[in-house]
Amino acid sequence: MQKRLSILTVLVVFLACASDGKPRKAGGISVVERSFVAWNAHDPDAVASFYTDDVVYEDVAFGMVAHGHAEMRKLAADFFAAVPDMKLELVSTNVDKNHGATEWVFSGTDAGLYKTGKKFSVRGASLFEMRGEKISHNKDFYDSATIMKQVGAVPPAP
């Protein structure tokens, strides 16, 4: 009996330590990582599926805000149209309970942002909140002037 109790205690402690409040992984890939896969697949429905029905998604650099699932889907579709070869590379992510941050690189060819047809690449970061297994609030931060300079929408600094 004492041995079973000891094993049970070790198991409970292990599970308590393993459950650190981070989003659970499905197949070894976190919710954040899977959302990046959806963005890179250019599938607005798949992208929207990672966000709550009442999501607030802010692209601070371009001053865009999507409220709710339908607007989130449209925002993703608009980005895919503007940057048809859009790629998001996940550099790092950190999640603590229901809050997190990611660093990423956004790159592609400008077909609709400034309509230059030129390639760009910019580093950025997101702050987000999770509700269950979905993202409920997201804020993207990056320097849109970097994109503008790279595609020739503004002259380079002297």
Extents of the domains making up the chain: 2-151
C-alpha to C-alpha distance for 90 and 82, rounded to whole angstroms: 20
Q: What is the DSSP letter of 71?
A: H
C-alpha to C-alpha distance for 121 and 115, rounded to whole angstroms: 16
pLDDT tens per residue, the chain (158 residues)? 444 333 332 323 323 333 344 444 444 469 999 999 999 999 999 999 999 999 999 999 999 999 999 999 999 999 999 999 999 999 999 999 899 999 999 999 999 999 999 999 999 999 999 999 999 999 999 999 999 999 999 987 77
C-alpha to C-alpha distance for 72 and 47, rounded to whole angstroms: 8
pTM of the model: 0.81
Q: Regarding the domain delimited by 2-151, which CATH topology (the fold level of the hierarchy) does it fall under?
A: Nuclear Transport Factor 2; Chain: A, (3.10.450)
Backbone torsions φ then ψ of 77, nearest 5 degrees: -60, -40
Q: Note the Cα 79 to chain centre separation in Å.
A: 14
